[in-house]
Amino acid sequence: MDYQWLKTFVIAAETLNFRKASEKLMLSQPSVTVHIRLLEEQLGTKLFDRVNNRVTLTDAGRVFYPEAIRLTNDVDASVNRMQAFSQRYRRNWTIAISPLMAETILPYFLRTFIERHKDIEISIRIEESETIEYLVDNGDVHLGISALDAKLKNIESIRIYEDPILFITPTDKYDEESGPPIDILDVLRKNYLFTHHHPVFWDDLLFTLNKHISGIRTMKVTQAHIAKRFIQEGLGVSFLPHSIVRRELIEGRLMQPHFDLFDLPAVSTYIIVKKKGELEEEFIHQIANYYFG
């Protein structure tokens, strides 16, 4: 059974429009029609009904659709395995990591780990912390790096570091010695506060803030790196983990005023793992001993 016929059928079944299918496949519309006809001949049954320029799946087409998906996925996986083999990869290993962790951990740690394992094809999945534990449990990934502790009993959660939360604002024209004292209350009243870019601390923090200050204008920005960029552009302020703003603070691209209204929380980062083989053990050991401050 020809692979291209199957791909054509899958796209045609999903679009129910041969013209759109031809555009997605970058084939001519007559080629799509020929592929479908040849596939129908091989299967000995009609897959589509065509009435008044409308295309619908027959009962046989609906039955065959998941089979075609499975067949094409199997071929794609085989091709990927052979390509990996030709590049001297001998196994693959997949990590799920939250967007926040990807910005704070991967640039500093993963390069050296990859250098030690050039025979392994390492794949990175950027996923929200809420889903990482379930990906590990289902075996979709070998290991996860999450901002959330594990809840499932059969999942091991290993805290690898704790990150203090800092109050972050745009830079001003003054240096630390010559500038006037910064009024935290005034800053919070006059600027948007970017919130909910971390899954743990925001509800409690906002509750405490509202007890000290009324009328804070908030704006949900669900990605920490976007909130950081917005602050650099002078659009507002926020509370961010130290690890994500460490470089910008050192380089003077963001500012951390002294915050004395109340004690700010800290957040943790966890390794989420179900089965620990040699590679998982090595990764956990190395990342647990890495300095992220």
List of residues 6+ apart from 69 with CB closer than 8 A: 10
Domain assignment of residue 62, yes or no: yes
Residue 168 burial (C-beta neighbours within 10 Å; 0-12, 13-18, 19+)? buried
Q: Does the pLDDT of residue 85 top 70, yes or no?
A: no
Q: What is the CATH number of the domain that holds 226?
A: 3.40.190.10
Cα 293 to Cα 220: distance, rounded to the nearest angstrom: 27
Nearest to 253 by CA among 231, 273, 225: 231
**pLDDT tops 80 at residue 53:** no
pLDDT, residue 240, reads: 95
Give 216-275 pLDDT, tens digit per residue.
999 999 888 899 999 999 999 999 999 889 889 988 899 999 999 999 999 998 999 998
Residues 74 and 98 in one domain: no
**Mean local confidence (pLDDT), 122-141:** 90
pLDDT tens by residue, 178-226: 667 788 999 999 999 999 999 899 999 999 999 999 889 999 998 888 9
Q: Is residue 293 part of a domain?
A: no
Please report whether residue 274 resides in a domain.
yes
**Are residues 13 and 74 located together in one domain of the fold?**
yes
In a domain? residue 148: yes
How far is 268 from 146, CA to CA, in rounded Å?
9
How many structural domains is the chain composed of? 3
In a domain, 190, yes or no: yes
Is 281 part of any domain? yes
Across-strand partners of 67? Answer: none
C-alpha distances (whole Å) from 189 to each of 192, 208, 211, 258 are 8, 15, 13, 16
Residues 157 and 171 in one domain: no
Res 108 pLDDT > 80: no
Q: What is the pLDDT of residues 24-45, one digit of tens each?
A: 888 888 888 899 998 889 899 9
Predicted TM-score (pTM) of this structure? 0.65
State residue 177's pLDDT score.
58
Kindly state whether residues 122 and 182 are assigned to the same domain.
no
Is 50 exceeded by the pLDDT of residue 89? Answer: no
Q: Which domain holds residue 168?
A: 164-265
Q: 231 and 186: one domain?
A: yes
State the chain's mean pLDDT as an integer.
86
The answer as to whether 59 is a domain residue is yes
